[in-house]
A and B are shown apart, each in its own frame.
Chain A
């Protein structure tokens, strides 16, 4: 079955800078915006761009991801020809290995790509929140006569040194790359979205197959560049967010609550699809006070919620107050609890009268790289006992008991991680 363009979606990474949020699920499967998961954005973009064949490469903790994607019904990707395919690493008669890098993962699936005889292959990652039409990018690719196209977006000059930037001439042809440059020559940040002529990609992957941890940005793109292939940038100016850290994840969620958010989930075209269960409608009880917030189906709100994103089935009991927080599906905030600037993952319970996210900032004693904001991060299926006080920049995972909180307190910068089988 021949396809003009197929997509390969890299969804195997942990996203370790999301801390306990990705302790048990791959980053692409993390909830976002109440009822979505991060991978819904690239998957929906594919469907909205008429890309009907998508290989999803999984490796780290794929259970939730597999369950979410299923056979692709939610995205209309259950198709007799093409559709969505989950591609985990597999055992071979010799040289069996995990996916050791982004390009290596694609290399190990050459057989899959071959079966669709594509002219073009779109490389995506399951880490970003954006709406983009890949058909437009392909059109640009064809018009320029490119072998490789790299989507890029202009970022403020002072931030350019945080990204891999592409240097392009006025026609869009790429003249050079810089990885996190101290003195950037360009402010066009690469978005990690590539279109390759499949012949070029195939040849480059095979030629680089011996490179350990073969990566697109580090190896395959430079390889194509050195060969003098026509490489063009496709400039994108819409909404695009990397939600790779706890604070960027939190900010991107909060951004949805603006009256006119940058990312509009309410328009009828370019809709974002997700797997949804038919749940009862949201219920707001008498005495509830709810402002500047969004809610999944099936929530029951008896308390106060302000400036927060709540997932499906969340319950906020009487007298509880939730502010500036992300609360994912199925979590219950018990009576009188006070939650401020928290990210609470799925199916957790915050005990009655517990106070989260109040106190002075303190450096994390657990993991400074991951926890470096004033957020409280709570893992899925976590239980926080009644009446405890939890400071800022903290992490909690597992079924905790009062004994885990000396004096009923978890000080700012602290963490309680309970191992579970």
Chain B
């Protein structure tokens, strides 16, 4: 046990149809919530203490995480810690930036003894071996290691921190959320540092009135030459925008993406939701779709992602769409290029 985990899950949903949910609680790839990917990788790396720092609309997220045994937490040692902003006489507001959010986890970090911390975001979709990344961090003698990925297809530059590194992996520049494309390598928002070092960096930033972990804590240290990039070669995407949410789900129609994520180093764990089997009725015609438990399909569905307990009526035609959990497509309805959120009416 060399690491503890921090998951930044503060963002609100980018998808209007699910505005009541935190990004980390968005359903992804059938049966999973976005946060399951980071959590599962942490569990697989032998991490037994994880703090999830949430902020906006944490109700669904908390509900998802409350029974932490599904991720093999809930043991006598370690566990899953949920941290969210608390209103006190001194502090009347939400987190004013990632530094403040991370500062809220300092008590948690103080109570641990593992030498390293891995910080991940709750909206990344991937499956990677964090221990390999830690080995890379130690081998390079890095102060901060940033996990990077190649630039995801068809995505806008503003969503990402673009990274330029030398052949050794040493980061030369990190351009956060600019509109110009300067690199084909982006930050996955996953960082490895020494636990003690992180605590002092955060304290220092607080005293200096700094707010953002990337621009105010990481970027100024790049010139010292001990910030390294560690490239993740497998699939990576993040669901921080509505178009990204759509394309990320659609990516799972590709066999290589399913193989990379679902057959990767760690099985992706999630809260089991006791759905009945998927059922296709007499007139069903389902091609190039992923379908989650409890769905009952009587219509035609092509190139789509069907979440749990969706009902698709007779003569309905669904193409290139995402049908969110517990929705119903009435008989004869055509749905195309949608994130479909219509609940059944009784």
Query: Which residues of A are in contact with B by a Cβ distance under 8 Å?
Result: 33-35, 73-74, 257, 259, 265-266, 271-274, 276-297, 299, 309
User: A288: which B residues are within 8 A, CB to CB?
Assistant: 286-287
- Asked whether, in the complex, the Cβ of B29 is within 8 Å of the Cβ of A280, the reply is yes
- Asked whether, in the complex, the Cβ of B290 is within 8 Å of the Cβ of A281, the reply is yes
Q: Within the complex, which residue of A259, A280, A296 is in contact with B262, where a contact is CB–CB below 8 Å?
A: A280
Q: Is B200 an interface residue (CB 8 A)?
A: no
User: Could you tell me the dominant secondary structure of chain B's interface residues?
Assistant: loop
**Which of B157-165, B274-282, B337-345 lies on the face that meets chain A?**
B274-282
User: A276: which B residues are within 8 A, CB to CB?
Assistant: 272, 274
Minimum CB distance partner of B30 in chain A: A281
Q: Is B258 an interface residue (CB 8 A)?
A: yes
User: Could you tell me the dominant secondary structure of chain A's interface residues?
Assistant: loop
Could you jot down 26 A-B contacts, CB within 8 Å?
A35-B293, A74-B272, A259-B282, A266-B294, A276-B272, A276-B274, A277-B272, A278-B32, A278-B70, A278-B272, A280-B262, A280-B268, A280-B290, A281-B252, A282-B30, A283-B290, A284-B287, A284-B289, A285-B288, A286-B287, A291-B281, A294-B277, A294-B280, A295-B278, A297-B292, A297-B293
Cα–Cα distance between A112 and B267 once the two chains are bound (Å):
39
Q: Is B61 an interface residue (CB 8 A)?
A: no
Minimum CB distance partner of A264 in chain B: B276
- Asked whether, in the complex, the Cβ of A281 is within 8 Å of the Cβ of B31, the reply is yes
Q: Is B291 an interface residue (CB 8 A)?
A: yes
- Asked whether, in the complex, the Cβ of B29 is within 8 Å of the Cβ of A291, the reply is no
Name the distance in Å between B266's Cβ and chain A's nearest Cβ: 11
Q: Within the complex, which residue of B31, B280, B294 is in contact with A290, where a contact is CB–CB below 8 Å?
A: B280
Name the distance in Å between B120's Cβ and chain A's nearest Cβ: 19
Q: Within the complex, which residue of A73, A272, A274, A280 is in contact with B30, where a contact is CB–CB below 8 Å?
A: A280
Q: A278-B267, A290-B284, A297-B293 are in contact. Are A283 and B258 (CB under 8 A)?
A: yes
User: B284: which A residues are within 8 A, CB to CB?
Assistant: 290-291
Q: Is B328 an interface residue (CB 8 A)?
A: no
Minimum CB distance partner of A305 in chain B: B280
What bracket does the count of chain B residues touching chain A fall in?
35 or more
Which 5 A/B pairs are nearest by Cβ-Cβ distance?
A281-B30, A265-B276, A294-B277, A34-B277, A280-B262
Query: Which residues of B are in contact with A by a Cβ distance under 8 Å?
Result: 29-32, 69-70, 252-253, 258, 262, 267-270, 272, 274, 276-294, 296, 306
- Asked whether, in the complex, the Cβ of A295 is within 8 Å of the Cβ of B277, the reply is yes
- Asked whether, in the complex, the Cβ of B288 is within 8 Å of the Cβ of A286, the reply is yes
User: A293: which B residues are within 8 A, CB to CB?
Assistant: 279-280
Name the distance in Å between B317's Cβ and chain A's nearest Cβ: 16
Q: A273-B274, A294-B278 are in contact. Are A281 and B287 (CB under 8 A)?
A: no
Q: A73-B69, A282-B290, A282-B292 are in contact. Are A265 and B277 (CB under 8 A)?
A: yes
Cα–Cα distance between A277 and B262 once the two chains are bound (Å):
13
Cα–Cα distance between A160 and B30 once the two chains are bound (Å):
47
Q: Within the complex, which residue of B70, B282, B285, B291 is in contact with A282, where a contact is CB–CB below 8 Å?
A: B291
Cα–Cα distance between A286 and B282 once the two chains are bound (Å):
18
Cα–Cα distance between A231 and B269 once the two chains are bound (Å):
50
Cα–Cα distance between A285 and B252 once the two chains are bound (Å):
12
User: A281: which B residues are within 8 A, CB to CB?
Assistant: 29-31, 252, 290-293, 306
Minimum CB distance partner of A293 in chain B: B280
- Asked whether, in the complex, the Cβ of B281 is within 8 Å of the Cβ of A278, the reply is no
Cα–Cα distance between A34 and B70 once the two chains are bound (Å):
22
Cα–Cα distance between A34 and B296 once the two chains are bound (Å):
15
- Asked whether, in the complex, the Cβ of B276 is within 8 Å of the Cβ of A287, the reply is no
Q: Which of A274, A282, A290 counts the most B-chain CB atoms under 10 A from its CB?
A: A282
Name the distance in Å between A384's Cβ and chain B's nearest Cβ: 25
Cα–Cα distance between A73 and B68 once the two chains are bound (Å):
13
User: A284: which B residues are within 8 A, CB to CB?
Assistant: 286-291
Minimum CB distance partner of A34 in chain B: B277
Cα–Cα distance between A280 and B269 once the two chains are bound (Å):
10
Cα–Cα distance between A272 and B278 once the two chains are bound (Å):
15
Name the distance in Å between A328's Cβ and chain B's nearest Cβ: 12
- Asked whether, in the complex, the Cβ of B31 is within 8 Å of the Cβ of A266, the reply is no
Name the distance in Å between A237's Cβ and chain B's nearest Cβ: 23
- Asked whether, in the complex, the Cβ of B31 is within 8 Å of the Cβ of A278, the reply is yes
Q: A273-B274, A276-B274, A284-B291 are in contact. Are A292 and B31 (CB under 8 A)?
A: no
Name the distance in Å between B66's Cβ and chain A's nearest Cβ: 14
Name the distance in Å between B70's Cβ and chain A's nearest Cβ: 7
Cα–Cα distance between A281 and B283 once the two chains are bound (Å):
21
User: B280: which A residues are within 8 A, CB to CB?
Assistant: 290-295
Q: Within the complex, which residue of B32, B268, B279, B286 is in contact with A294, where a contact is CB–CB below 8 Å?
A: B279
Name the distance in Å between B259's Cβ and chain A's nearest Cβ: 10
- Asked whether, in the complex, the Cβ of B286 is within 8 Å of the Cβ of A290, the reply is yes
Q: Within the complex, which residue of A273, A283, A289, A292 is in contact with B281, where a contact is CB–CB below 8 Å?
A: A292
Q: Which of B258, B268, B277 counts the most A-chain CB atoms under 10 A from its CB?
A: B277
User: A296: which B residues are within 8 A, CB to CB?
Assistant: 277-278, 293
Cα–Cα distance between A291 and B297 once the two chains are bound (Å):
9
Name the distance in Å between B234's Cβ and chain A's nearest Cβ: 15
Name the distance in Å between B222's Cβ and chain A's nearest Cβ: 38
Minimum CB distance partner of A280 in chain B: B262
Cα–Cα distance between A285 and B285 once the two chains are bound (Å):
11
User: B288: which A residues are within 8 A, CB to CB?
Assistant: 284-286
Q: Which of A266, A281, A287 counts the most B-chain CB atoms under 10 A from its CB?
A: A281
